Structure 1
Amino acid sequence: MWTYLARFIIKFKLPLILVIAAITVVMGYYAQFAEMSYDFRGTVPANDPEQIYFQEFRKQFGEDGNIVAVGLQDSAIFEYKNFEKLREFCVAVKWIDGVKEVISLPQIKKLEKDTAKTQFVLTDVFAGGKITNQYVLDSFLREASKQRFYIGQIVNEENGAIAILISIKKETLNSSKRVDLTNEIVTLGEKFTQSTGIQLHYAGLPFVRSVIAQKVGQELKVFLGLSVLITGIILLIFFRSWRATVFPLIIIGIVVVWVLGCIELFGFKITLLSGMIPPIIVVIGIPNAIYLLNKYHTEWVSHRDKERAISEVIKKVGLATFLTNLTTAIGFLVLLTADITILREFGIVAGINVMATFVVSLILIPSVFSWMPPPSPKHLKHLDIKVFDNALSFVDVMVHRHRMFIYSIAAVIVTFAIIGMFRLHSVSFMVDDLPEESVVKKDLHFFEENFSGVMPLEIVINTGKRRGIIDVKNLRKVDEFESFLDSLKPVSRPVSVVSFVKAAKQAFYNNNPKYYSLPDSRERNYILPYLKGQSDNSGLFKSFVDSTLQTMRISLQVADIGSDKMDSLINGVIKPRMDLIFADTDITAKITGTTPLFIKGNAFLIDNLKGSLILAFVLIALTMGLLFSSVRMIIIALVPNFIPMAITAALMGYFGVPLKPSTVLIFSITFGISVDYSIHFLAKYRQELFSKNFYVPLAVSNTILEVGKSMVYTSIVLFFGFIIFAFSSFGGTVALGLLTSTTLLLSMVTNLVLLPALILTFDTGKYKRGDAPMIEQLEPDFYTENEDEEIDLTKIKIHNRHSSAE
């Protein structure tokens, strides 16, 4: 098959190149429309009961994660000139396109009773025009301090910290307009700081996600550029040839365009995960070029026939390269089995384009170099680098003479790895991966210290009957539950219809703050008529109760304490007390919101990635089994690839790197890539085994000395290609870069040292006629060898030899 493929590529190289060019033009057209994703809800399956419930909640009560919080803590804000600047800032923010509402100290309202109409009306506390002196401000502040509804929400009584809560319209929240909106808020904030000297802090999910989206876009460009630059430099150092550097990079550029085109064609958007695909394609695709070019130069040195060398490249390296790309693609494509949208999108785009990289490389490199002059002696120096030759000769001696030492070292490392793996733990944060020293994290800590955080948590109370919410008995039960919630340190003061009823009682008593409480049975008769006058569709209640007054919402803000502590808080603290309080009533309560859904989504991500990784192991093992038709060869091939991943897991355990989506992904990527070493080694070993009369020691030595160079070159490219991710702003991406590059380097060592040692120990080199594996059946002349000496193949009676052995 590969012989015919080689002839086909060489014969039709121009039409094939034109086809690739045409596809690239089409993909380039669609690539320009690829957009960043601004919706972070795709981590829980749409059919999950909690996800369905949350969607119903959003339809009923609106968005819960739509608040941008701006905070400050400076006594200078209570000087009338600075306070007026704060009011101007809030008014300017309110006029930004996409802003729904602004709740702030300068704009707070109070309830006043209208006895004529028997209803409450909202009026501004800071009424009138511009504040012109300190006396006027102080009087307004005294009135504001009476509004108990806001205490703990936008004002911290203990230290005077102030929060400005900015709600974003739904249509803006999940679109690119959100970035412009948050940037405009920051711009106005900077002007405020310049005029007052008061520092502002920014938080809230829309703000954090806008920062992340912008950084993903920036890092996509930076890492893509760095990966191209680094791999280009390495190729130039190895091959001493501009054409051996430029053309592989052109191939990678083509596939990167295909990646972005695929994202658009499939209707996907660029996420934190898919944003890593282009630089990953660079570092995965370059090894294809290294193996193909290295074999081309080796064949050229052997017989000085360019056309024959190019044909031999396709025939002898084509299958191995196909298999390596296939196993890598399997590592990504198994993500299609995940229930998580962003994982499936990442898997399909990465998997398809890994195979596209193989196709483009196999066509363009032989085709282009068939038109180029033969390599000069300068270009062939990489075949005779003394440092590498000496190192590979040392490895050859070790695997032949000191295998027990190699096994002993491997046993010690495996023991070390097993101990470390037991220290692994799993945890995720809402604002994950950003470094602690980042401004975003510091601002988040400001809100956690002063307002118990800004992450949304919702509790839905169903009273079980129409108008059950205005039943004082039910309100008292809810108030008891809210008092418990308020006592929890990571939880903010709850806001619900209970808060409104308390504020209504305070308003009824002329805004005396000591009456901020639920009405008793006697007071209920006086206050209820006012509440009835603005129930149902009133603007005061519609975000917190349904139209039948049966269901209500308790809205909370929580600190970003991590998935493990959040799970304990919700399921171990809040839920048991909630069940206890409402046990003897008709009231049912359910916890929902962006925060618990996010935590559950991350758990889904990790579970799906683990399942996909196991499936990848199975599929790759089956692929190896079909190719080599031997359980022994499967074990020999997989053992050197399990050990590096075990070491990586151990390092995560020892250094406290948690299991989370970005770090679990390391194992899927590295396993698919590291198996490539084994396939290239075993494919060459089978060639050598047949050409060297089934003498295993000589076949192993020749394989180490030839394929070893390509493995070293490839590992260097992969190491430096992935290490660039260590310069990311996201902790998970940093861990991915460091751990992936380390794992792949270790994988090269185990496949170059442990794999041949295992072959020498367990492979006898004796095969029966019926035992020929698929890798031999795919290409009848795949194992012919013309490098060292001319051999009359007609005189080699392989089958007769086996017959006599039997």
Structure 2
Amino acid sequence: MKLASWVADVSVRRRKLVVGVTLLLTLAVGLLAALPSIWPDSFPALHGVKVDTDPENMLSADEPSRVFHDEVRQRFQLNDIVVVGVVDDSNAEGVFHPDALAHVHDLAEFAKTLRWKDKNGEDAGVVEVDVLAPSTVDDISQGGLGSVRFEWLMPVPPKTAEEAIAVRERAQRIPFLNGTLVSEDGRALALYLPLTAKDLSYRVGAALKERIATYGGTEQYHITGLPIAEDTFGVEMFIQMAISAPIAMVVIFLLMLWFFRRMALVAGPMIIAMISVILTMGALIATGNPVHIMSSMIPIFIMPIAVLDSVHVLSEFFDRYRETGDRTATIRTVMDELFAPMLYTSLTSAAGFLSLALTPIPPVRVFGIFVAMGIIVAWLLTILFIPAYVAFLPEKTFEDFGASHAEGEASALSRALRRMAPRVNGASKPILALSLVLLAVAGWGISRIVINDNPVKWFSPDHEIRVADDVLNSHFGGTYMAYLALDAPKTTWDPAAFVASVSARLLDKKTSLDAEGLPEITSAFTAAENELRPMAEAATDATGALASLEKLASDRADAADSDDVAESWDEVRSVLSAERQSSDVFKDPEVLRWMSRLQAHFVESGKVGKSSSLADIVKTVHRELFLGEDDQYRIPDTSAAVAQCLLTYQSSHRPDDLWHFVTPDFREASLWLQLTSGDNRDMVAVHEALDEFMDEEPPPGGLEPHWFGLTHINVVWQDKMVAGMLKSLGGAFVVVLLLMVVLFRSLAWGLLAMVPLTLTIALVYGAVGLMGKPYDMPVAVLSSLALGLAIDFAIHFLARARREVERQGSWAAALPVMFDEPARAISRNAIVIAVGFLPLLFAPLVPYQTVGVLLAAILGISGVATLLLLPALLGTFERVLFRSRAAR
């Protein structure tokens, strides 16, 4: 007895055991995942559902760019930001009227209160001290020559229209606020709410919406930003999964019911799909893996594959049943016929997804491994559960069951396929020629593919987040934040060089003071020089050595017995202060001017709407120190003047804002960029703009630039994903080819089986390029699904073709048989899966729409290619492909 017949026979005879074990295993795995999720305290040793919607986790925790991103954000105390934009198109002054600004003031005060306890019992939510709103920022203005006044921009809501307009005018005079807090057209404003953790953004957004709903004004509020887009997608993703997957299954069920006419029988494949999903997702959760954006789509990928084999079985069973009228005998025959093709189609599909384990993206690896596991589970259930299930059904289920093959009673599909056979046979050369033309066009389309992604575009165009994104980025400098860290070169501690530098400064100072005839000066400077070397040798860095020397100078000045001696030691301290400032790279006027020119270059590139840095703070304060004269909006000429500007700024209400732009040792600075687009290709263009500028104008002092921020991180993981996908796709293609060679025991037949697959992938991705659809995460991942599904029909067709040629004696005689039951099974499968997943087109999330379109395209193209191209190739190369038969 063949293995397939034996397995079917055991499943039929032990049907109660097979069904019972299957249901018990499903229940056990389901409970293992569900119980610790519902009652975590009662099952502390088990893993419950953990949701991870952070695209940052597409990179491994030890990925250098991610480690640097986290370290630098902490160093500059930068947080992810939710942006709230306010516009009012019904008012001539936009939002700058008393009613709207009263609501804005209230919303800012309310946002400060959005704090909760996290799982560790610590406060989490909006970072109150860093909120940017009209009521929380300073109006920087001149207070007389050499003086700057810092006052809250809008401490209370304005009472009159004039006061409201004054708020706008004062804000627009401050470069940091113009285009950021207030739109350059003067009609809109934005609030920036930094968060302790980005996964709170959806919760913060929901609370803000509740508050906004109480206002009833004419202004409109838009909430956006990468953090809230990513967090919102995570929430809606699960809602959509709960809606789309059942709808798809209902459509598939109805289509199968239309084809096979028995609800009880059609329920079998549905049960297999459901059990496959439960076992796979249960195993994912029970092993401690979080449900990520990728893994949330596992059910959508497993269901069509789980149904495919079952449809082949039911189709064959439906067509053969009337020959015997015996369901157990028929199911044994069917399983014997389909066992090998189903095994190899499952192996090739699993190989396609296992290839994702080669990618450097952890969630993609998990996704690939568990989908592959689900495919194998679905195959095992098909060969074990379906025969047992069929045997379990009552006899009356099969009354008047099965297809009639009489010409007058055949279905429309059967009649159409029978008429197709001679036409395909007579049009082999035109079919092959058309295929080559399509392949050439597809190649051109593939060359036009643009690699790009943007989490905000994962939503449909009419989604509130997309609308908010469009509105705010048309008014402001941009809601997508990218950051450039500029680091001074790291230096090793050299006591001798330090001593030489300070000695030279002491000598210059003595010379400038004309110290001859001033014994106190000579004595103080000589004493400092005598202490210089031992203190330098005892220190571990310049900071420590200077601290020791400054303490010596202070002690000697305090202990001085005359004003002349004290003043002499004050001169020594001025030398030491100058030495300290020499290491403060970002107090150097030339460095700050270079940063300003870099900022201007970024804006001129067209991808950056607004840029902010330490240079802007210095220029703004310098202007106000000189009576607010516009021509004084510049970098001062000396480091001491820069230091004076920074010291003045630290008298503001928000002095710690300075440390968002520079570290306290003034050796590292961050440059903020606001992009009006979150497209990865736009961020790449900004990268290129930096490289271009640095080639033309190298940074002074050997400054080293390093990118960080969410917009940059998205580029990093996408680059890794694309490279990883290409590598995994190439590896899986080779594995599938080897499997085909083993299955058919022939290199020629193995290559033949790859033809529909190759054409399908080429046409699908060629169409992606021709339509201008970006090559993003869903499109990349679907390449693995294409690999598995597109080979399915070819395996079934070629396996049956070889058998039928053996039975009929020639390909010409076998062709009409192939366009009977085998072609019907392939057509039914293509229709069921392609049409079944079309409801995904109506999902509000673009990745689900993409899956629906590409699933339909993959099944449709591979089905047509199998039924047209393979017969044409078999007819054209019959002598080569059936050489052993001809010899016999």
Look up the SS of the partner of 2:482 in the other structure.
strand
Equivalent residues of 2:26, 2:278 under 8 A apart: yes
Q: Is 2:186 the partner of 1:159?
A: yes
Could you tell me how far apart the structure 1 residues matched to 2:647 and 2:181 are?
26
Could you tell me how far apart the structure 2 residues matched to 1:411 and 1:525 are?
69
CA shift, 1:358, in A, is 1.4
Partner of 1:444: 469
Look up the SS of the partner of 2:296 in the other structure.
helix
Deviates more, 1:61-70 or 1:359-368: 61-70
Look up the SS of the partner of 1:590 in the other structure.
strand
Distance 1:109 1:533, change over 3 A: closer
Q: Is 2:410 the partner of 1:410?
A: no
Q: Is 2:129 the partner of 1:125?
A: no
Q: Is 2:402 the partner of 1:380?
A: yes
Counterpart of 2:483, as a letter, is E
Could you tell me how far apart the structure 1 residues matched to 2:692 and 2:302 are?
49
Determine which of 32, 46, 57 is the counterpart of 1:42: 57
Could you tell me how far apart the structure 1 residues matched to 2:606 and 2:446 are?
33
Partner of 2:298: 277
Counterpart of 1:372, as a letter, is L
Could you tell me how far apart the structure 1 residues matched to 2:708 and 2:340 are?
52
Partner of 2:100: 82
Determine which of 448, 455, 458 is the counterpart of 2:483: 458
Look up the SS of the partner of 2:273 in the other structure.
helix
Determine which of 727, 748, 767 is the counterpart of 2:842: 727
Determine which of 751, 766, 789 is the counterpart of 1:635: 751
Determine which of 355, 359, 364 is the counterpart of 1:343: 364
Could you tell me how far apart the structure 2 residues matched to 1:551 and 1:522 are?
16
Equivalent residues of 2:588, 2:639 under 8 A apart: no
Determine which of 223, 228, 233 is the counterpart of 2:249: 228
Could you tell me how far apart the structure 1 residues matched to 2:870 and 2:5 are?
29
Equivalent residues of 2:608, 2:676 under 8 A apart: yes
What's the RMSD between the two structures over aligned residues? Answer: 3.4
Deviates more, 1:250-259 or 1:295-304: 295-304
Q: Is 2:25 the partner of 1:23?
A: yes
Deviations 1:453-472 (A, max 9, x none): 11111111223474322333
Partner of 1:759: 874
CA shift, 1:379, in A, is 2.8
Partner of 2:857: 742
CA shift, 1:57, in A, is 1.8
Equivalent residues of 1:148, 1:516 under 8 A apart: no
CA shift, 1:70, in A, is 2.5
Deviates more, 1:279-288 or 1:408-417: 408-417
Q: Is 2:274 the partner of 1:256?
A: no
Distance 1:588 1:352, change over 3 A: same
Partner of 2:772: 656
Deviations 1:573-594 (A, max 9, x none): 2332145444443323233322
Deviations 1:646-701 (A, max 9, x none): 22233223322232332233332123112111111222234334444x54433443
Partner of 1:779: none
Q: Is 2:196 the partner of 1:169?
A: yes
Deviates more, 1:677-686 or 1:580-589: 580-589
Look up the SS of the partner of 2:454 in the other structure.
coil
Q: Is 2:76 the partner of 1:61?
A: yes
Equivalent residues of 2:804, 2:817 under 8 A apart: yes
Could you tell me how far apart the structure 2 residues matched to 1:236 and 1:203 are?
45
Could you tell me how far apart the structure 2 residues matched to 1:637 and 1:220 are?
34
Equivalent residues of 2:445, 2:766 under 8 A apart: yes
Look up the SS of the partner of 1:165 in the other structure.
strand
Partner of 2:265: 244
Partner of 2:519: none
Equivalent residues of 1:459, 1:592 under 8 A apart: yes
Look up the SS of the partner of 2:773 in the other structure.
coil
Partner of 1:468: 585
Partner of 2:204: 181
Equivalent residues of 1:445, 1:453 under 8 A apart: no
Distance 1:386 1:574, change over 3 A: same
Q: Is 2:490 the partner of 1:490?
A: no
CA shift, 1:521, in A, is 3.2
Partner of 2:136: 107
Distance 1:728 1:94, change over 3 A: same
CA shift, 1:765, in A, is 9.2
Look up the SS of the partner of 1:431 in the other structure.
helix
Partner of 1:219: 240
Could you tell me how far apart the structure 2 residues matched to 1:8 and 1:664 are?
42
Partner of 1:556: 673
Deviates more, 1:96-105 or 1:153-162: 153-162
Could you tell me how far apart the structure 2 residues matched to 1:504 and 1:606 are?
46
Deviates more, 1:84-93 or 1:372-381: 372-381
CA shift, 1:63, in A, is 4.4
Could you tell me how far apart the structure 1 residues matched to 2:162 and 2:318 are?
87
Look up the SS of the partner of 1:159 in the other structure.
coil
User: Identity of aligned pairs, percent?
Assistant: 19
Could you tell me how far apart the structure 2 residues matched to 1:588 and 1:282 are?
50
CA shift, 1:254, in A, is 1.6
| Gap regions ≥5 residues in structure 2 | 38-47, 116-124, 492-582
Deviations 1:750-778 (A, max 9, x none): 2123223323333459989xx9xxxxxxx
CA shift, 1:391, in A, is 1.9
Equivalent residues of 1:504, 1:527 under 8 A apart: no
Look up the SS of the partner of 1:379 in the other structure.
coil
Distance 1:137 1:391, change over 3 A: closer
CA shift, 1:430, in A, is 4.8
Deviates more, 1:286-295 or 1:73-82: 73-82
CA shift, 1:189, in A, is 2.7
Distance 1:570 1:526, change over 3 A: closer
Counterparts of residues 512-661 of structure 1 (less than 5 Å): 516-521=633-638, 524=641, 527=644, 530=647, 539-560=656-677, 562-571=679-688, 573-661=689-777
Look up the SS of the partner of 1:78 in the other structure.
coil
Equivalent residues of 1:64, 1:594 under 8 A apart: no
CA shift, 1:130, in A, is 5.9
CA shift, 1:94, in A, is 1.6
Equivalent residues of 1:462, 1:551 under 8 A apart: yes
Deviates more, 1:266-275 or 1:98-107: 266-275
Deviates more, 1:676-685 or 1:65-74: 65-74
Q: Is 2:423 the partner of 1:398?
A: yes
Deviates more, 1:652-661 or 1:478-487: 478-487
Distance 1:563 1:493, change over 3 A: closer
CA shift, 1:166, in A, is 1.0
Equivalent residues of 2:8, 2:383 under 8 A apart: no
Deviations 1:388-432 (A, max 9, x none): 222222232234444334334434433443444444333333533
Deviations 1:185-243 (A, max 9, x none): 22223333x2x111122221122223322331222122112111101101111111110
Distance 1:695 1:198, change over 3 A: same
Counterpart of 1:249, as a letter, is M
Distance 1:382 1:152, change over 3 A: farther
Deviations 1:324-376 (A, max 9, x none): 12211211111111111222122112111111111122222111211223453
Distance 1:746 1:150, change over 3 A: closer
Equivalent residues of 2:678, 2:711 under 8 A apart: no
Could you tell me how far apart the structure 1 residues matched to 2:77 and 2:335 are?
60
Partner of 2:526: none
Counterpart of 1:753, as a letter, is L
Deviations 1:516-566 (A, max 9, x none): 54334397288269369789x972333332343211111121121633343
Look up the SS of the partner of 2:705 in the other structure.
strand
Determine which of 413, 430, 434 is the counterpart of 2:459: 434
Partner of 1:790: none
Look up the SS of the partner of 1:103 in the other structure.
coil
Distance 1:58 1:78, change over 3 A: closer
Look up the SS of the partner of 1:25 in the other structure.
helix
CA shift, 1:5, in A, is 2.4
Count of matched residue positions in the alignment of Structure 1 and Structure 2: 761
Deviates more, 1:683-692 or 1:82-91: 683-692
Could you tell me how far apart the structure 1 residues matched to 2:415 and 2:649 are?
90
